Amino acid sequence: MAFPSAIGGRSQYVLAIAGATGGLGLFISKAVLQAPYVSHFSTIRLLTRSTTSAQARELQSLIDRAGGDSPGKLIQVDYDDSKSLGSALRGVDVFVNVLNGDVPQNVNDNIVEALAKNKVKVYIPSEFGLDERLIDVDVEIWRLKKEHVKAAVEKSRGKLKVVLIYTGFFLEGIGLWTGFDVANGVFTSVGSPNFPIAYTARADIASATARLAILSISPSTADSVPTDVRIFGSSPSISQIKDFAEKKYGKKIVLQVEDARSWKKELLESNSNDLLKWVRLFAGEGKFDYTEENHRELVNPRQSFWKWKTVQRHIEEGGIDPLP
């Protein structure tokens, strides 16, 4: 699906990004400040707690290089202050939330209030991971996320379009913390190592988010964007990733399999909120398999906007490392 046409060379939509200088937010901010996305917004508000951080200075440099033609503007915000956040969202059409999922409840409450008060039309909450519709256990962070989205829709009296973007694992996060121990030549799967697992590079998540922001606010394309959007760059199984790594490093890697039922039993009995342990379990249960139902063609038809980065390419280029 092509972009809707910008009016008079630049659309009049106002975009705001919370967490604009964070680990994923920086990628999204840089994406929307550049072609082909930047012309679709008259104003891009990059919300951050500090406008003097290294990441903020990087964004300001990108804005300055546009020579006064950039719609980007860094705005310092106190998310704990409802008035500060409300002011930042005044006149905003699309709000992208890239704050950490474990922000204090009062911050989520302030977001809900600001969305409704300013009549924001499109809201992309902080998801970017597992399709929460598949979660069959009560884990606090996911429960709070669902409650937040429900509150936002109810407070806005059904006039808010919500787009939840499920990206699987961050591609750059493949490493020891997800069971890939290259140094010791051991990969560990919780449950089956043969289920496809969605992985998406942060740059690709950024491009997809920019695309969905534009498609969701434009009258001619808004209806094509569902509430739940699944994307991925590639979806190899842990067994396939082992093969990629063996080829890269020229060494044999042992694949160990943890019993999923015992793993889950321990998590439930301890009432665990350890997201890492939960997502590793869900991967072994096939919950990160987005191959049958996804929206890759909606956001990036025939890879005409960018080429998805794959796990195999990531390993070939730089190997398996922790998320920087």
pLDDT tens-digit map of 177-223 = 889 998 899 999 999 999 999 999 999 999 999 999 999 999 999 99
Tell me, what's the pLDDT at 189? 97
Instruction: Give strand pairing partners of 290.
Output: none
Q: Nearest 5°: CA angle at 20, between 77 and 177? A: 120
pTM, two decimals, is 0.94
Measured between alpha carbons, how far is 208 from 305 in angstroms, rounded to an integer? 9
8 Å CB contact between 308 and 296: yes
Indicate whether 252 pLDDT > 70: yes
Indicate whether 322 pLDDT > 50: no
Q: Which two tokens stand for residue 144?
A: 């709070």
CA end-to-end span of the chain: 33
Indicate whether 319 pLDDT > 80: no
8 Å CB contact between 21 and 59: yes
Confidence of residue 12 (pLDDT cuts 50, 70, 90): confident
Indicate whether 148 pLDDT > 60: yes
Tell me, what's the pLDDT at 68? 77
Report how many helices (DSSP H) and strands (DSSP E) the chain contains, helices first. Answer: 11, 13
Measured between alpha carbons, how far is 288 from 32 in angstroms, rounded to an integer? 27
Looking at per-residue confidence, does 105 or 176 come out higher? Answer: 105
Indicate whether 29 pLDDT > 60: yes
Q: Across residues 31-48, what is the average pLDDT?
A: 96
Number of neighbouring beta carbons within 10 Å of residue 203: 17
Q: Which two tokens stand for residue 66?
A: 């546009």
Tell me, what's the pLDDT at 324? 40
Measured between alpha carbons, how far is 192 from 283 in angstroms, rounded to an integer? 8
Q: Across residues 97-103, what is the average pLDDT?
A: 89
Query: In the Cβ-directed half-sphere of 117, how many Cα atoms lie within 13 Å?
Result: 15
Q: Across residues 234-257, what is the average pLDDT?
A: 95
Tell me, what's the pLDDT at 323? 41
Tell me, what's the pLDDT at 102? 79
Tell me, what's the pLDDT at 4? 63
DSSP states of 145-169: HHHHHHHHHHHTTT--EE-EEE--E
8 Å CB contact between 18 and 78: no
Indicate whether 2 pLDDT > 80: no
String of b and e for 270-288 (b: at least 16 CB within 10 Å)? eeeeebebbbbbbbbbebb
Which spans in 78-201 are helix H?
82-88, 105-117, 140-155
Q: Across residues 120-142, what is the average pLDDT?
A: 93
8 Å CB contact between 111 and 152: yes
8 Å CB contact between 237 and 193: yes
The distance of Cα 311 from the centroid of its chain, to the nearest Å, equals: 17
3-state DSSP call for residue 231?
coil
Confidence of residue 133 (pLDDT cuts 50, 70, 90): very high
Q: Which two tokens stand for residue 297?
A: 């063609």
Handedness of CA 127, 132, 138, 139 (dihedral sign): negative
Indicate whether 3 pLDDT > 80: no
Q: Is the peptide bond before 36 cis (omega within 30 degrees of 0)?
A: yes
Indicate whether 238 pLDDT > 90: yes
Looking at per-residue confidence, does 56 or 4 come out higher? Answer: 56
Number of neighbouring beta carbons within 10 Å of residue 220: 10
Amino acid at 102: D
Q: Which two tokens stand for residue 236?
A: 């190899």
Measured between alpha carbons, how far is 84 from 80 in angstroms, rounded to an integer? 8
φ, ψ (nearest 5 deg) of residue 96: -105, 120
Average pLDDT, the chain: 93
In this predicted model, what pLDDT tens digit does every residue of 270-312 receive, in sequence order? 999 999 999 999 999 999 999 999 999 999 999 999 999 999 9
